[in-house]
């Protein structure tokens, strides 16, 4: 069911629902959030590149991943040139900065200014928005 797109072509909701699991659709297309400590990659230590589950754009490398204690995969920086966009999010009675894939507009998570050096940023990303391509095998971990 995880038939990720290879191009950023606009899709209708029925098409996204066909290509994504229910959880992936809820998170990426409806700006949802998975429960802490439940996502596939929150505690993953495999080396590789994390891609957008919707359009396959390379977003983060495991070298920038760190244990934040929040229960979501956390990165201190995206890959150089990664299509990461940001916008204000004022839901839940708080101001946060939402991050999304600029290529396909998938909601990824949020970025906070409480991360480690060298950036001081914490990209708190939903596992459901990601697919890991491991360095040692060049295979997708689906």
Measured CA to CA, the distance from residue 39 to residue 63 in angstroms comes to 19
From the list 44, 52, 104, 124, the catalytic residue is 124
Where does the chain have alpha helices with state H?
13-19, 22-30
Measured CA to CA, the distance from residue 7 to residue 132 in angstroms comes to 18
Measured CA to CA, the distance from residue 134 to residue 1 in angstroms comes to 20
Judge whether 124 counts as a catalytic residue. Answer: yes
Q: Which two tokens stand for residue 44?
A: 């993953």
Residues recognised as catalytic: 124
């Amino acid at each position: 069911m995880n038939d990720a797109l290879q191009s950023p072509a606009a899709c209708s909701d029925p098409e996204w629902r066909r290509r994504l699991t229910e959880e992936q659709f809820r998170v990426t297309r409806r700006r949802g959030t998975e429960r802490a400590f439940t996502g596939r990659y929150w505690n993953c230590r495999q080396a590789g590149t994390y891609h957008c589950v919707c359009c396959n754009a390379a977003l983060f490398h495991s070298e920038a991943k760190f244990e934040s204690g929040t229960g979501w995969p956390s990165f201190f920086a995206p890959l150089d040139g990664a299509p990461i966009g940001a916008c204000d999010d004022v839901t839940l009675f708080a101001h946060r900065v939402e991050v999304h894939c600029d290529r396909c507009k998938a909601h990824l998570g949020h970025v906070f200014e409480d991360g480690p050096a060298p950036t001081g940023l914490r990209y708190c990303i939903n596992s459901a928005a990601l697919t890991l391509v491991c360095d040692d095998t060049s295979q997708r971990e689906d």
